[in-house]
Chains A and B, each alone.
Chain A
């Protein structure tokens, strides 16, 4: 019973709420079916599957909250979990930040997050997709290491104030590293979709293979400040740190890159180049997301950065009420508006620069300036007079996405991409950035 329909979920949640004796009760229900295959040294190393179903009951007496979970669904178990949440609530200390649960909300039309054809994908389809990738590597005498996983799931919630929400979604994730037999070249590709049919493991493997073969015989060039073209997956791992920092409380408390002296914040300020526009939209066809957040707040289209100006922060309901701002939840997919050019056109228009296909091992160095460090990986190339001239050895960088987006030269077309750090999906363009700071060389391939 892993994937319940809206009606089945509604009936189950009603039954659970029926057992409640608390002042307020909220129930979250979710379930998923997932499977994966991992391969390395051009052979399957592990594979697995899991089916899970979880019910979380939150019971409140005044400002005292108790939470209990169960994965059995007979009537006795359902009543037991409600009683346990109530016992825990009675024992809990008062939480001064507790907010009474939300009443009924308007969520708008359903978002296209679920495809029945993708939900039907099983071990055979996964094995076929992996075989296509492995064959592509073998034909070129290259080593393949990759991971393919897919999941179909649903979530629903209901509370004693009459709120009900339901969403189901399918997801597929694929990532592949291709290395040359001599270990001197390496290439990577990563993809994420809601629709399994959009996945083309053969083509993605071919992209990684091309980068692997082209990155052999990399030359060392001096670290320093360079004009770079970052492919979307490299953009993702930098910019997501900026998205994470759009938290109202952290900014108000004076401890994020969004804070200003004297207890003020950068909300409403020109922080970035005026061509930078960042928003989220649960109904975007390329990057659909749930129309509600885990505490029942509606997810709507939100402009986070408009013409380089910070327009909105996200906040908990408690913090929003305390500070008098709109209680916007953190988004589940972020989009940056791109330009018209392809990656190839960006390269063509570059006199001297470096093409960065992937950035890796990103860690914060200074939260005040959002300075990050990390390295290039799996194919880095020197560009001269609009052409890729030769592969170069990997660099370590120290750079802030805020500084980066002030040094913006050009943007390409936005595309769906995946952060190899957080596994989150985004719609982001390739970016051409001047004065990107590389601080040392790495011998790694």
Chain B
């Protein structure tokens, strides 16, 4: 899905919800068809055909991905169902190394003949490109795992839950919003199931069944007389879970100025708060620009982590492979080599983790057959590592990949994508209330809003969903027109306190875009509520 479509759907910074071009997801299918799988024996036979065909044409390495990508999407507004779609995209992609160069070809014709032809095409592409290739590809060694499988540990398969149940829930959500003063509401439930089979000439045959879910809404409140309008989006998070995410238990709720959620989500409760928040936002006072201590909730901070820590530590950006699109990175190799580049204060510990249960990035093996793991990125404030795949590992002195390879579909080539990148909770006991007690002049921000960062990830600006003024250790009411601007290194060095593990929660992006042609991936970012001192806040109100 294109980023713009997703922005419309998730309501980030937008009042509207528009239906996406459904063909971008795949072909519409009957809901019951989604529950039919493809026999693993058939997939192994097809894989061997491709791998043998590639080798016989001169490939030194080959892998094949047989992918069945399912999406279910239910969208409503007020009392009306806007769209229900079940889509499927099924096909194979073959990647080969020949003459030291990569080649790729894909087809939706899943027969032995077509698969062999795709493998041959991939070799031909590799050989043609080898003529203008600089250095030959160096692939980090990877042992074969034989026949293995992995599945997202779900309790309820979202695709088995009847569409009517989802429609009824969303219409109920909308009703609660309207009863509590909303002028408009859009609500959606997305469910994703990637049935991926990977095989390589290293001797791996990996069958994976990956599930993700994302419920969301956007409430709009309009004051007809003044013409002012405000929105408040859901405080849900996209998760690597099944439909059990929709059934919140008491222990999943975090109380405070507004209830936030960890582990599971209560959409009916959150929408009532959202309608009341939106009404309060219309009347809230406009922020006085200046320096504030920021107290950032995990429902907000995940996006700041994503943009300012996740992206600049992607090794392909550091090396210049994304220079023409997403950009490069200020975290150049010399800073990493120095072993003393102070990315943040000593409290800042960031890890990459492809194994974290419930996270969007969790899989057993990546899209080039590497078993997933976790590792340090920022240790006690110092930059210690990047995110790499097999053909990059040697550049940072590794003898194996970190398992960060991903492709959005069978017809796109896999490349380096961000693993879950998370800020570790504080080691000492600290609650949100205790953190706020010590803030003299600050702003407490909940939920993610507008976001923008430069192409090397120095300068950023973030908004949010709701903003609360903190005066002398107490919440003093809601603010409006808030955005903060900072420089990544200054910002993370101003990190002065992090709440303890009991406040740690996951946020995430369902559709992180990168590459040309652009590909989307899903990634989570965990943190506990965190304080940053003396950050520049601007007022975004204008008159037209």
Of the candidates B128, B183, B463, B487, the one whose C-beta lies within 8 Å of that of A123 is B128
Number of interface residues of A (CB under 8 A): 85
A369 touches B224 (CB 8 A): no
State the Cβ distance, A175 to closest chain B Cβ, in Å. Answer: 6
A364 touches B13 (CB 8 A): yes
Of the candidates B30, B133, B226, the one whose C-beta lies within 8 Å of that of A84 is B30
Give residues 28-43 of A contacting B (CB, 8 Å). 36, 38, 40-43
Of the candidates B323, B454, B544, the one whose C-beta lies within 8 Å of that of A143 is B323
State the Cβ distance, A327 to closest chain B Cβ, in Å. Answer: 17
State the Cβ distance, A59 to closest chain B Cβ, in Å. Answer: 12
Q: Does A445 contact B (CB under 8 A)?
A: yes
Complex: chain A residue closest to B130, CB-CB: A44
Residues in A neighbouring B84, C-beta threshold 8 A: 92
Of the candidates B102, B128, B463, B543, the one whose C-beta lies within 8 Å of that of A365 is B463
Contact A177-B324, Cβ < 8 Å, known A361-B452, A396-B454:
yes
Q: Once A and B bind, how many residue pairs between them come within 8 Å at the CB atom?
A: 210
A395-406 interface bits toward B, Cβ cutoff 8 Å, 1 = contact, 0 = none: 010101011000
Distance of A439 Cα from B484 Cα, bound (Å): 11
Residues in A neighbouring B544, C-beta threshold 8 A: 257, 369-370, 400, 402-403
Q: Does B469 contact A (CB under 8 A)?
A: no
Of the candidates B23, B330, B540, the one whose C-beta lies within 8 Å of that of A398 is B540
A40 touches B322 (CB 8 A): yes
Residues in B neighbouring A373, C-beta threshold 8 A: 450, 452, 461, 483
Of the candidates B30, B167, B413, B454, the one whose C-beta lies within 8 Å of that of A444 is B454
State the Cβ distance, B97 to closest chain A Cβ, in Å. Answer: 13
Number of interface residues of B (CB under 8 A): 76
A68 touches B28 (CB 8 A): yes
Q: Does B458 contact A (CB under 8 A)?
A: yes
Contact A254-B459, Cβ < 8 Å, known A41-B134, A46-B413, A69-B28:
no
Contact A394-B543, Cβ < 8 Å, known A41-B319, A262-B224:
no
A142-161 interface bits toward B, Cβ cutoff 8 Å, 1 = contact, 0 = none: 01011101000000000000
Distance of A43 Cα from B184 Cα, bound (Å): 51
State the Cβ distance, A245 to closest chain B Cβ, in Å. Answer: 10
Q: Does A162 contact B (CB under 8 A)?
A: no
Contact A369-B450, Cβ < 8 Å, known A50-B411, A71-B27, A443-B330:
no
Give residues 5-30 of A contacting B (CB, 8 Å). none
Distance of A175 Cα from B225 Cα, bound (Å): 47
A179 touches B80 (CB 8 A): no
Residues in A neighbouring B167, C-beta threshold 8 A: 93
Distance of A170 Cα from B129 Cα, bound (Å): 25
Residues in A neighbouring B454, C-beta threshold 8 A: 360-361, 375, 377, 394, 396, 442, 444
Contact A69-B225, Cβ < 8 Å, known A40-B321, A255-B184:
no
Of the candidates B16, B325, B451, B536, the one whose C-beta lies within 8 Å of that of A255 is B16
State the Cβ distance, A73 to closest chain B Cβ, in Å. Answer: 13
Residues in B neighbouring A54, C-beta threshold 8 A: 23, 27
Residues in A neighbouring B23, C-beta threshold 8 A: 54, 56, 69
Residues in A neighbouring B256, C-beta threshold 8 A: none
Q: Does B516 contact A (CB under 8 A)?
A: yes
The residues of A with any CB-CB pair to B shorter than 8 Å are 36, 38, 40-48, 50, 54, 56, 67-71, 84, 87-88, 92-93, 95-97, 123, 127, 130-131, 134, 143, 145-147, 149, 175-177, 179, 183, 188, 247, 250, 253-257, 259-263, 360-371, 373-375, 377, 394, 396, 398, 400, 402-403, 422, 439-445
Known contacts A183-B328, A444-B456; can you find 10 more A-B pairs with CB under 8 A?
A40-B324, A46-B415, A123-B128, A254-B224, A262-B224, A360-B454, A364-B14, A369-B544, A374-B452, A375-B452
The 3 closest A-B pairs by CB, nearest first: A261-B227, A442-B459, A444-B456
**A-B CB contact pairs (8 Å), 15 listed:** A42-B134, A48-B104, A54-B27, A69-B22, A88-B28, A147-B516, A183-B328, A254-B229, A255-B220, A257-B544, A364-B14, A366-B542, A369-B543, A394-B459, A398-B538
